[in-house]
Copies of this chain bind each other. A is one copy, B any other.
Amino acid sequence: MKKVALSDIAEECKVSKTLVSMVLNGRGDAYGISKETQMRVFQAAEKFNYKPNQIARGLRLGKSNTIGLIVSDISNPFYAKIARGVEDYASKSGYNLIICSSDENVEKEIALLRMLKERQVDGLLISTTFSSSKEIMSLMRESLPFVLIDRFFPHTETNYVIIDNYKGGFTATEHLIKMGHTRIAHMTITPNHLTSLKERKRGYIDALKKHDIRINKKFICQIPYGDIKKNVYRELRSLLASPNNVQAIFIANNNITTAFLECVNEMKLRIPHEIALVSFDDIALFKVFYPQITAVAQPIDDICKNSVKALLDEIKNKGTESPKVKIVLEPELIIRESCGYMYRKG
C-alpha cells in the first residue's frame, strides 16, 4: 500500500490540493468552500485513510511539533519519572518527545544539542551537565527556546525550573541532627560543578554550622559517576571505621543511595542503629527497603508541568521578548525510619 498524499485526494475529488488542505484543516468554512465539496473531500480522505505527512507539514510551517529532552540517563528512576511526566504534558499539546541521555559527558551533550537542532526541534528541556553557560548561551543566540530543569546557571538569564536544593540539603541534614546525630557524613557524585549538588552540599554544611558541629572534610565524599559501587563500598568502610566513627549520612543522589543500600545489605549493617541515612530523590525502592528510607522528595509532577508549560509558552511567543521563567519549587522531606526514632518532627 503506497503512501497517500494530499494530491491523491485532490485528484480523486477533482479539486486542487489547496482546497483539500483548507478543508482538512477545518478552515473550509472560513475560506468559503461549499458544504458539498467539503463533504466530498472528507469522504475521500476517509476512504483513502489519509494521514498528513508531518514532515512536509513541518517543513512548510517551520515547526516540527517535537521537543527534545536531555538528561544524564533515562534509566535513572528519577529521570524516567521526569520523562514520563514530560511526555504526558507535551502530548496534551500535540508535541512529541525525543529523549537523549548525556551520561554526564560534555562532548556528548554538545553532540546531542547539535543533532536536536538539526532535527528542528521546536524547543528543549535540558538537565545540563555543562559547567559553564557557554554552550547554553549559544542556544539563546540561535533563539531556540529551552528551559533548564533540575540544574541551572545562577548568573545567566535563562528559563529554568529547579528545586531549592539548598533547602533540601539543609532540611535533610538538620533532621539527622535533630535525631541526635553529630558525626554526619555527606556523599555526593561527580561531576562536582553541578549547581544542584553544590547547593545540597552547602545546605549540609550550613545545617552543621547552625548547630555548631565542626565540618570534617573527611566526612565529605565524592563518588565518581562511572564507578559508583566500588567507591561507595570503600568510602563507607572508611567512614564507619575509627577515628571517623560516622553515625549518619546524607546522600545527595539516588544512584549513590542505591549502591549504598546494596553495601549496607551485604555488610549486614543496621539502619539506623549503625548508620542513619537521608537520601535525596524519593524513589520506589526507598519505601520498600527495611527500614524505610527517609528522603528529600522532588515534586516531579510540578517540575514537568511547569517546565513544559514554560517551554510551550516560549515556543508560542518566539520572537517576542518575554521575561524568563524562573521557578524554584520546594522539596519535601519525607520522614520514614532510616534516621532513628528519638523525636520525630511533624
**Cross-chain contact A1 with B284 (CB below 8 angstroms):** no
Across the interface, name the chain B residue whose C-beta is closest to A49. B142
Chain A 56-75, CB within 8 Å of chain B: the 1/0 string?
10110000101000000111
**Cross-chain contact A77 with B74 (CB below 8 angstroms):** no
A261: chain B residues within 8 A (beta carbon): 288
Q: Which residues of A contact B (CB under 8 A)?
A: 1, 51-56, 58-59, 64, 66, 73-77, 80-81, 83-84, 87-88, 91, 96-101, 114-115, 117-120, 141-143, 258, 261-262, 265, 284-285, 287-290, 292
**Cross-chain contact B74 with A83 (CB below 8 angstroms):** yes
Across the interface, name the chain B residue whose C-beta is closest to A79. B80
Across the interface, name the chain B residue whose C-beta is closest to A260. B288
**Cross-chain contact B52 with A55 (CB below 8 angstroms):** no
**Cross-chain contact B75 with A84 (CB below 8 angstroms):** yes
Given contacts A288-B261, A290-B265, contact A1 B84 (CB under 8 A): no
Across the interface, name the chain B residue whose C-beta is closest to A271. B290
Across the interface, name the chain B residue whose C-beta is closest to A108. B91
Closest CB in chain B relative to A135 CB, distance in Å: 13
* Cβ contacts A to B, 26 pairs, < 8 Å: A51-B114, A51-B118, A53-B59, A53-B118, A53-B120, A54-B120, A55-B58, A55-B64, A55-B119, A66-B119, A74-B83, A75-B80, A75-B84, A77-B77, A77-B80, A83-B99, A84-B101, A87-B99, A88-B101, A96-B98, A97-B99, A98-B98, A258-B284, A265-B292, A288-B289, A289-B289
